[in-house]
Structure 1
Amino acid sequence: MRTHSIRTAFTVLAAAALAAVTGTASATPAASHPAKQRQTPPVLVDCLWHPDVRPAEFILACGDGNSRLVSLHWSHWNQNSAVARGVNMVNDCKPYCAAGKFHAYPVVVALDHPQPWKKKPQLQHYTRMTLIYTHDHPDGYAQKVSYPLWD
């Protein structure tokens, strides 16, 4: 009976050792060659310091809301840049902003220059926005305007 117990214990230990070696061997390639980490695409930070990806709307004039992007349709958003078509709604502020009228200007929106975001350094955020007006543009604006984005 004692020989049978020793033989059983030896078999169990041998099986456990074999399983440990096999488990370690199969884990070794994964440990030595980690899978590529998926990078999170850069975000667009809004007026309230919320990060967003591919927003449908974006306020440009945070203080009074007199310029905003609406109906944004993003054609691409990657590690380097993002591009959308949309409409820039701009208040003419005539005779003053509270009595002014909003006018729609079709635009192409380009985001670029991603950098680590100060609030959350693990996230990249776009630091520049360029608006290209495809038809008319608001008084006092150029056909192409670039803005630094807040950090």
Structure 2
Amino acid sequence: MRGSVMGTTVTLAAGVLLTAAVTTASASAPPAVHRSAAHPKPVLVDCLWHRTVRPTDFILACGDGNSRLTGLRWSRWSGQAATAAGVNLLNDCKPYCAAGTFRRYAVTVRLEDPQPWKKDPGVRHYTRMSLTYTGALPEGFQRVMTYPLWD
């Protein structure tokens, strides 16, 4: 009987260790990502390398935060382009940026030219943004300003 108890104990201990090893391995394995299902349309990559779809806010001047888009309302987000209306909050930097005033400018935002993202080539991201100022223009700006986006 003593041999039977010892054998059962060893078998149970081995089973527990095997179950723990399999559970730990499966819990630490990264989940499978299906790019086409997760992101069938391009994403917008911000300066912190986060990908977003239809964000309501977006920082344009990452170094100092002196230009950002707010209140974005997206009317289109397709495989080729995206369009939104919103406001560009822009620091006038007068007399200098730390003492400047943020001014509000109505804009239409257009995202274009989706390409594979260098960080994750299975994901396409928009690579160009155009802002069209629909009212007053910031000093020194043109009616349409086009910017490359982060890759």
Q: Percent identity?
A: 61
Amino acid at match of 2:92: D
Q: What does 1:1-151 align with in structure 2 at a 5 Å threshold?
A: 40-151=40-151
- For normalisation by structure 1, the TM-score amounts to 0.74
Amino acid at match of 1:62: C
- Runs (4+) of structure 1 exceeding 4 A deviation are none
- For normalisation by structure 2, the TM-score amounts to 0.74
Aligned-residue CA RMSD (Å): 1.0
Inter-partner Cα distance in structure 1 for 2:128 and 2:93: 26
Q: CA deviation at 1:64?
A: 0.2
Q: CA deviation at 1:150?
A: 1.0
Amino acid at match of 1:64: D
1:116 counterpart SS class? strand
Inter-partner Cα distance in structure 1 for 2:45 and 2:78: 15
Inter-partner Cα distance in structure 2 for 1:101 and 1:56: 22
**Where does the alignment leave 5 or more consecutive residues of structure 1 unmatched?**
1-36
Q: CA deviation at 1:41?
A: 0.7
Q: CA deviation at 1:40?
A: 1.1
